[in-house]
A and B are shown apart, each in its own frame.
Chain A
Amino acid sequence: MRDALLSIGHHVGTSALEWLDGAAHLFAFPPDVPVLDVNTNRHVKPLAEFALAGSIAVREGATGSRQAQISPVLMDYAWNALGNGSFLHELQLAMPVETYPMEIYAMFTRAGYRHPELEVLLAHLGRLRAAHARELLPNRQLALTNSARLIGLEPHADEAELVARTWLGNASEPWALDFATAYAMTHTVFHLSDWAGQPERLPRRMVDYLRRWLPVWLDVYREAQQWDLVGELLMVDLCLPDPEFPADTWIAYATAQNEDGLMPFGSEAPPEDTEDAFRNYYHPTVVAAVAGTLLVSRGIATLTGATDTRETVGG
């Protein structure tokens, strides 16, 4: 079953990256928007997600030749769209407490891109009292501590304290969950483990909790055909030190994906035209790209760890 799962991961991830590649022009900032008029949710978030998918694919490296081919191209494209980082620098200068510039920049550092001036600015802002009194939910603050770690800056807060204030860190009643809280829960895991890059950073108690309750949420949201969230929950599994790789859910998830790589959000069929589909479907497709990539890399790691016969794995 592992081999079949690897090919599912490969297909889900590669076709999603191909869709993102084809839609790349839609992620770019409109060039005529002045920095102060930039709407972070509208203009910045899509590109941040785009860069996330590319950076994880670059980090995980040889998860397939097609992926290895596309992901650096995507990152180059996004970095260029950001003026090789200078747009992030301008944005951060204009909006000193805005967090997106640092979060997006961190993704590029993951793939080896650097902008020294921006780093000087980020270090300065990090020394302000304002940086230690952010009006943000604890799971969002974990995005910042992870970003700081990736860039090589001092995190603004103690992660253990932040975790203790999250829904997940409190080992909350697993039935006291709604859609928004489920997303918050998944992101607590993503930021703490740097998107499965460091599973060992998850506290033991959290791992035990997730092992027990993740199957429940996967079951419920799969039945409800909430594919965006199912993709995120499958990623949570891949962030654990010893993933379960739930085959049934992976098969259902892969089956929900369009042939062109687009992943539907829920049970409603997406529009056929890429431009029409972009706004509502780029997110589930980014999730599919990351989830598929991680399934392959963590699957291979598990196989090699278990058998230590590297030669047989690629075949």
Chain B
Amino acid sequence: MSRLDADPPPRLSYTTAVDALAASVVRAFRGADDTYRISDHVGLLPDRRAELAALRVLGVDALTPFLVRNRPVLADDLAVFDEVVTVFPSDSTRVTTSVVRRLRHWFLEEVLTELTGAGKGTAYPRSADELAPNDGTPWQPWSVFMAQVSTMALPGWVTPVHLAASRRTEDLARGAARALLRGDPYTAARLARWLALQPDVPPELGLAGLLEHVDLLAARDPRTQLEVAVAQHLLEVGRS
């Protein structure tokens, strides 16, 4: 058997699935796709597990077209997530699970609860309060943490993370500039998404220009483009 006949390694097909899903979210934001459906993204690839993994990885980001772009959500779109959490269950109860994973999982559950209209949701994880970087954390590691939870950078939420973002706008801006200078447009885009929610962004940063720049840098990276698309939309909504 030649190597070419072998199945691609799972990491590769997972990456492909994540990129395909992210690209589709980007299209939903940029107007070319009026019929964004999460259910369309399951059963398309030969590897269903990879598709579910993509939803686990993007989490709430896969729902952003419904949340901020007001695309209509159908029951099918949300039902898929039942399968996602069954195949890839949360490891939030494990001690070793990072605060980033805990927060991302909690936020996904909150958003799904809100979209399905089922119940009140769960309390903000206390472990996150204890483990997350706080106001005493220097701006560099703090901004890296904020980039890792950029999926939470959506309007209308008031959590300790959102409050910290509004208290430390200057540090978000420093983090974004630092990321770009270090050749890390993905982190820059994720911090720009937090900044797009703040009313007091340092004008010198040139947030709109930074987003355009990152978009051009990351023309082949759908995950970075997703962050840019959400941020640009938030910025536009905030302006109008």
Chain A interfacial positions (CB closer than 8 Å to B) = 171-175, 177, 209, 212-213, 215-217, 219-220, 223
Instruction: Say which residue of B188, B202, B206 sits within 8 Å of A212 (CB atoms).
Output: B202
Q: Chain B interface mostly helix, strand, loop or mixed?
A: helix
Contacts of A175 on B, CB cut-off 8 Å?
176-177, 180-181, 188, 205, 210, 213
In angstroms, Cα B205 to Cα A199, docked, is: 25
Contact indicator per residue, chain B 178-201, by CB within 8 Å of chain A (1) or not (0): 101110000010000000000000
A216 touches B204 (CB 8 A): no
Is B140 positioned at the interface, with any CB of A under 8 Å from its CB? yes
B210 touches A220 (CB 8 A): no
Contacts of B69 on A, CB cut-off 8 Å?
none
With a 10 A CB-CB cut-off, give which of A171, A172, A220 has the most chain B CB atoms: A220
B178 touches A173 (CB 8 A): no
- Specify the chain B residue showing the minimal Cβ separation from A221: B181
Q: How far is the CB of B25 from chain A (nearest CB, A)?
A: 25
A173 touches B139 (CB 8 A): no
Is B156 positioned at the interface, with any CB of A under 8 Å from its CB? no
Contacts of A171 on B, CB cut-off 8 Å?
203-204
Instruction: Say which residue of A173, A177, A217 sits within 8 Å of B205 (CB atoms).
Output: A173
Chain B interfacial positions (CB closer than 8 Å to A) = 139-140, 170, 173-174, 176-178, 180-182, 188, 202-206, 209-210, 213
Q: 17 A-B contacts, Cβ less than 8 Å apart? A: A171-B203, A171-B204, A173-B205, A173-B210, A175-B181, A175-B210, A209-B204, A212-B170, A212-B173, A213-B174, A216-B174, A216-B177, A216-B178, A216-B181, A217-B181, A220-B178, A223-B182
A219 touches B178 (CB 8 A): yes
B205 touches A174 (CB 8 A): yes
Given contact pairs A171-B204, A177-B181, A223-B182, A212 touches B174 in the complex (Cβ within 8 A): yes
Instruction: Say which residue of A174, A217, A223 sits within 8 Å of B204 (CB atoms).
Output: A174
Q: How far is the CB of A148 from chain B (nearest CB, A)?
A: 30
A215 touches B181 (CB 8 A): no
A173 touches B209 (CB 8 A): yes
In angstroms, Cα B205 to Cα A171, docked, is: 9
Contacts of B174 on A, CB cut-off 8 Å?
212-213, 215-216
